Amino acid sequence: MIHWPDSIPIYLHRDSLDFCKAINGLAVIGSESMSLNVYSSALFVFCNKNRSQIKALCWDYTSFSLC
């Protein structure tokens, strides 16, 4: 289980997207479509078209993690 501090913001991308996208594609969506800094300490959450699955992307100051 991952414990997040209360100070870390969580951003939800409201539009559904193709889940074939990997880390780089999701990072581009987070920076361009959401106009946010993906290299900040934040959690970016994306969902598929059916809203039945999610992917979470975060930067840990060395690399991206995708869950």
Residue 21 is given by DSSP the state -
Residue 3 has pLDDT above 80, yes or no: no
Residue 28 lies in a domain: yes
Residue 1 lies in a domain: no
Residue 57 lies in a domain: yes
For residue 18, the model assigns a pLDDT of: 85
Q: What is the pLDDT of residues 5-32, one digit of tens each?
A: 788 899 999 998 888 989 999 999 999 9
Residue 23 lies in a domain: yes
Residue 3 lies in a domain: no
Domain membership of residue 31 as a residue range: 10-66
Residue 5 lies in a domain: no
Give the distance, in angstroms, between the CA of residue 43 and the centroid of all CA atoms in the same chain: 6
Q: How confident is the model at residue 39 (pLDDT cuts 50, 70, 90)?
A: very high
CA–CA dist 16, 14 (Å, integer): 6
Mean pLDDT of 48-62: 90
Report the domain count for the chain.
1
